[in-house]
Structure 1
């Protein structure tokens, strides 16, 4: 009788461990798939916002020269460092607020977004500007904005 109880006890332990193992595997699978789904939907927004913040922080707090290094290659080719610095110093950004970040869904440029920014200048003038941010040279960079006009 005792031997039979031990056998049932071991059989119950195996079944319980199997059920727990299946539940853990199911939970990990659901979490991984859900995490990938959420990450793929949020990553471009966050990366574009982060690139815009880095760019604007350098324009606001300096060094403004470093903001030029955060521009896309094509933008740097079209805009000299000197002209960019003249524009940024003339604008005189005191503060900014990031608004909408909109990824642009295009087969030719899947890693492209626009970032709406409200800036306040040192003279107290507030204006809204749009920055185009894209992956260039392996990282998100500012490719278009009011400096390119």
Structure 2
């Protein structure tokens, strides 16, 4: 015998669909947050390294132009103490002329309150030879200056 009343089936649950929607929303939020965080991290690093890179490039550009006086002004006080302006100019004149340069990397560090940087450059000389040179810079009176063996 059949019952005149049939029990309606239980309503369909959309658990899988709900889980997939929640997972998708979480994934979009995480990826968006990571992208935004990465952008601000990149801007922060770029803001820290750009001034040091620009100082090193100004120094090398002055050497390329044959302007030893302008390059001398970009030396730190310790290095200027090792080279008189005239001696620096004479030393630069004896070096192979730099035809072009390319920055290969910049590293800025702060150790015990002393901010320093290294800028790695490929210097193409007039002979065609490419010299890999590391410029060491320190921050003096708020400006980046080239220190150590300048060139």
Decide which structure has the larger Cα Rg and report it: 2
Distance in 2, Cα, partners of 1:40 & 1:95: 28
CA RMSD between the two structures: 2.3
Query: Which of 111, 115, 118 in structure 2 is aligned with 1:106?
Result: 111
Q: Which has the higher helix share?
A: 1
TM-score, structure 1 as length reference: 0.66
CA 43–145 in structure 1, closer or farther in 2 if over 3 Å, else same: farther
Q: Which runs of 5+ in 2 are unaligned?
A: 1-37
Distance in 1, Cα, partners of 2:79 & 2:150: 12
SS of corresponding position for 1:104: strand
**Offset, 1:98:** 1.0
2:77 maps to 1:73: yes
* Contact 1:132-1:144 at 8 Å conserved across structures: yes
Cross-structure match for 1:124: 128
TM-score, structure 2 as length reference: 0.66
Q: Which runs of 5+ in 1 are unaligned?
A: 1-33
Cross-structure match for 1:115: 119
